[in-house]
Amino acid sequence: MFRRSLFAVALLACYAVAAPVLTTIQDVLYKADGTRFNGTLTISCSSFQAADNSAIMMQTFTVRVIDGNVRVQLVPSATSTPPIVYSVTYNSNGRVQSQETWSVPASATPLRLGAVRVAVTSSATSGGTAGASTSYAILPDQIAAGGASAGQALVYTGAGWQPRGITLNRYAFPVSGTSVYIAAIYHGLGSNVALLGCQDAGGAVFQPGGIHVDSSGDVTVTAAVSMSGLCVLSGSPSGVGQYVASFTSATSITLIASTLGLGLTPTVPACYDGLGNWFEPGRIVVDSSGDVTIAFAVAQTGNCILQ
């Protein structure tokens, strides 16, 4: 009796973890003449491992579309291992009408077709389609459907494509002596740059005595004693992933997350006074909503860079 009960418990446990999470795709299909589409969708995929480690087999199945209404539930493919796409063929009146590719993100709410369709371009090497390379254009709606917030982009994580913070450009340069000058034309980071940090030859972090950035983005790093090592600048030539907050005679400033567009964890790598000289704020607070408050020990005029 005990063994039978144990088997029943194990069987129930298997069923509890067997079903993978599904994303619902629901929409109304129209033909070019404005009438509703009637027919079938033939959907196929290769084998893959879902984000919840469910093993999905290679499969082809058909979904009926009546009076334009299409509704299908699929295992998310955008976060699978390896990332795969669904091939979809539209059939009506006994003929193939069109073909397209879907990349399905995880979503708790139903998605429309525009959130899963991807544009595909292929180029075959000599020998035909064997060895052909294929690229997929990810549409903005798909990023939003994946739970993206302002200031994020679609980034490959190694297991799939997910919204992530934008990595800004970096420029590393050697420092020696008591003053080093880097022209904007060389670092190529635009006019709003921040010094992320410096390390000496032994890998120890050190803080230069002064940092000056002029209106063109030219950078001068100075120190009271001779420097030797490497420093790293951060910036964005296009301004993407960055926000510059200007202030006049202020002891503190508060910046709202929706205005910053940098997600929930913005950083403040640098503040400069009205002459372009770096200074350290008295206090920086980032709340759970991504709102930022920067306080100064004394009234300041200048700007702070947020990333």
Q: Which residues of 74-96 are buried (b: 16+ CB within 10 A; e: fewer)?
A: bbbbbbbeebbbbbbbbeeeeee
pLDDT beyond 60 at 276:
yes
> How many structural domains comprise the chain?
3
Q: How does pLDDT run across 69-86, given as a tens digit for each residue?
A: 999 999 988 878 777 889
Question: Residue 290, exposed/middle/buried by CB under 10 A (0-12, 13-18, 19+)?
Answer: buried
pLDDT beyond 50 at 172:
yes
Query: 8 in a domain, yes or no?
Result: no
pLDDT beyond 90 at 279:
yes
125 and 42 within one domain:
yes
45 and 26 within one domain:
yes
The range of the structural domain enclosing residue 191 comes to 169-235
54 and 152 within one domain:
yes
pLDDT beyond 50 at 300:
yes
How many CB atoms sit inside 10 A of residue 296's CB? 20
pLDDT, averaged across the chain: 80
107 and 69 within one domain:
yes
pLDDT beyond 80 at 183:
yes
For the full predicted model, state whether its pTM sits above 0.75: no
213 and 272 within one domain:
no
Over range 166-188, report the average pLDDT.
84
- For 18, phi then psi, to 5°, come to -75, -40
Choose one of 178, 212, 235: the last residue of a domain.
235
| Between 78 and 30, the higher pLDDT residue | 30
Q: Can you give the pLDDT at residue 141?
A: 55
146 and 89 within one domain:
yes
CA distance 191 to 216: 5
pLDDT beyond 60 at 158:
no
Q: What is the DSSP letter of 131?
A: T
Q: Which residues of 11-47 are buried (b: 16+ CB within 10 A; e: fewer)?
A: eeeeeeeeebeebebebebeeeeeeebebebbbebee
Query: 1 in a domain, yes or no?
Result: no
Q: How does pLDDT run across 223-268, given as a tens digit for each residue?
A: 989 988 889 898 887 777 889 999 999 999 999 998 888 888 889 9
DSSP string, 142-186: HHHHTT--TTEEEEE-SSSEEEEEPPPEEEEEEEEEEEEEE-HHH
Lowest mean pLDDT among 50-59, 112-121, 133-142: 133-142
Which residue, 182, 190, 247, is CA-closest to 215?
190
Query: 5 in a domain, yes or no?
Result: no
Cα 143 to Cα 78, 149, 266: the distances in Å are 10, 9, 20
pLDDT beyond 70 at 128:
no
Q: At 135, is the pLDDT very low, low, confident or very high (cuts 50, 70, 90)?
A: low
122 and 83 within one domain:
yes
Query: 53 in a domain, yes or no?
Result: yes
Max distance between CA atoms of the chain, in angstroms, equals 84
Choose one of 144, 163, 182: the last residue of a domain.
163
